[in-house]
Amino acid sequence: MTAVPAQVAGVKEIVVVSPPRYRGSIHPVILAVCEELGIDEVYRIGGAQAVAALAFGTQTIDPVDKIVGPGNQWVQMAKRKVFGVVNIDSIAGPSEVLIIANDKANPAWVAADMLSQAEHAPGSAVLFTDSQNFAQRTLEVLKERVNELSRKEDTIKCLLKFGAIIVFEDFDGVITQANFFAAEHLEIQCGDESKRIADRIKNAGAIFI
């Protein structure tokens, strides 16, 4: 998410921090991505303490020039505090994803993306569709998969407060409301029609097809 743009921009040294899991290890998927990208400086630390370590340095972590990447409210406040000591990308608010999908989409994929967003807590996860059947299938997957999460309770609270599955009569209504919503992250999962739908979106932070 941030390492690839940094590499494209020609950044010579990239440092990755990631909070350890309950047994003290970094998630293997993160390590695999770092291996693929050739990043060999990875530290088991996360949260506001990681921001402080990167800004001021520790006995084992050298201070950096710039801190980038998302995080919860504590991370954002920490980035705000160290700005001036070190450069930062931005101070982000609660994250959100809006997914536009039709019956050509995979409900398991849509549910997974909604859960990954809600797991942030707070963060909104919303589905717009024109298919009642697809909406119901996605809801069933959500109810099943949420029980598998380590942050099950936080995710459920977030979905109940900030999540929604909305069925429209037609895609004209979907497009109109999507442009009004102006999502930070907009996913379009509509098979061969995705590109055509994306061309009608005028207001979105980032569009993923």
* pLDDT tens for each residue of 200-209: 999 998 999 9
Check if 140 is active-site.
no
Q: In this structure, what is the dihedral angle of CA atoms 161, 165, 169, 170, given to the nearest 10 degrees?
A: 120
Mean pLDDT over 124-135 rounds to 95
Task: Give the whole-number percent of the chain exceeding pLDDT 70.
Answer: 99
User: Residue 172: pLDDT above 90?
Assistant: yes
Kindly indicate whether the domain formed by 3-88 is annotated with CATH number 3.90.600.10. Answer: no
For residues 194 and 209, is the Cβ–Cβ distance under 8 A? yes
E strand residue ranges, 68-205? 87-88, 95-101, 123-129, 164-167, 185-189
Check if 96 is active-site.
no
pLDDT (tens digit per residue) in 7-35: 999 999 999 999 998 888 999 999 999 99
Q: What are the boundaries of each domain within the chain?
A: 3-88, 95-208
Mean pLDDT over 48-52 rounds to 97
The pLDDT of residue 91: 85
User: Residue 121: pLDDT above 80?
Assistant: no
For residues 185 and 205, is the Cβ–Cβ distance under 8 A? yes
Residues 96, 119, 184, 187: which is the catalytic one?
184
Q: How confident is the model at residue 96 (pLDDT cuts 50, 70, 90)?
A: confident
Mean pLDDT over 32-53 rounds to 96
Q: Which two tokens stand for residue 77?
A: 């406040």
Same fold flag, 3-88 and 95-208: yes
Q: What is the mean pLDDT of the chain?
A: 93
For residues 161 and 120, is the Cβ–Cβ distance under 8 A? no
- Element spanning 43, H or E: strand 42-44
Residues 153, 185, 187, 193: which is the catalytic one?
185
The pLDDT of residue 9: 94
The pLDDT of residue 19: 93
Phi, psi of 181 (to 5 degrees): -65, -40
Shortest CA distance to 152 belongs to which of 192, 121, 182? Answer: 121
The pLDDT of residue 144: 92
- Element spanning 99, H or E: strand 95-101
Quick one: 95-208 is in which CATH superfamily? Nitrogenase molybdenum iron protein domain (3.40.50.1980)
Mean pLDDT over 188-200 rounds to 95
The tokens 């705000």 sit on which residue? 80
The tokens 């293997």 sit on which residue? 28
The residue type of 74 is: W
Write b or e for each residue in 63-79: b if 16 or more Cβ atoms lie within 10 A of its Cβ, otherwise e: ebeebbbebbeebbebb
